[in-house]
Structure 1
């Protein structure tokens, strides 16, 4: 079955699912347990929210990772035994001068790396930054993630359709 993640959503499921999304400056983290063939994927918009909240919200990276973590634990999976991959974080405003605080994509990608490292999960593969949008497909059966990056000119990047 195919699942399409909208911004702010996450998914946890088994081998019969393929999860897709479309990313610009947003970031997706995939976590996959090879022996159990269970995986999780997020699509977050910002690394963290400005103010703490008691309610988790998948639009924020730290909350999305917590939601995926809880979902995997509920499936009997130790997330620290998962293979992690990270995608997205593109510059959607190419050529416009921006300060460091407005590099949303770069901030999201670096936050994803840091959040995973803080939980003891090594990133096995990543396809981050650059310009344009990415189409991402995560096949939970085998843990493969297919990425196609399209530049603002509409050209597919040389690494288009790369399996991670």
Structure 2
């Protein structure tokens, strides 16, 4: 299906969450960050988040899309407000690329990419979401394009040390 004429392109920066109820193309660029895409196949609505860190230490503040648990909570709230159940969405996960593979890390808590991947998978399981696809890990960055009118997600992965 071709892009609808009136469907805008929206580029998500790190920490942003977007949810739409009309045709739209969502884009983002991920390194060690992770994106959730949510798509409701019957209603053709959904959204995407681009989170930077799994969670923050200090709680009790307004939700912030920079953190995986809070970005997912924002998407879940959008689903609820639109009269849908989170379990009815097709969920896809992308990102978590190691951006500095040449640096040997001694402490696992310094590996942000792996922490983000583990958090995304744990959140998916905790909320009983229907994970239909994932492309996470390895090295380098990913360009993500999500078409809300049909649920297609396009991924271009550029591993470190390769030119395309």
- More deviation in 53-62 or 145-154? 145-154
Match of 2:78 in 1: 71
Contact persistence 1:40–1:72 (CA under 8 A): no
1:107 alignment partner, one of 107, 115, 119: 115
Instruction: Determine the structure 2 residue equivalent to 1:12.
Output: 19
Residue 153, structure 1, aligned to residue 153, structure 2:
no
Match for residue 125 of structure 2 among 107, 117, 124: 117
Instruction: Give me the CA root mean square deviation.
Output: 1.1
The size of the alignment, in residue pairs, is 156
Q: Post-superposition shift, 1:15?
A: 4.2
Which among 37, 44, 49 is matched to residue 42 of structure 1? 49
**Aligned equivalents of 1:53, 1:104: Cα separation in 2:** 23
Report whether the alignment pairs 1:55 with 2:51: no
Matches within 5 A, 1:121-140: 121-140=129-148
Contact 2:88–2:130 (8 Å) recurs in 1:
no
Deviates more, 1:39-48 or 1:146-155: 146-155
SS of match in other structure, 2:113: helix
Give 5+ residue unaligned stretches, structure 2: 1-7
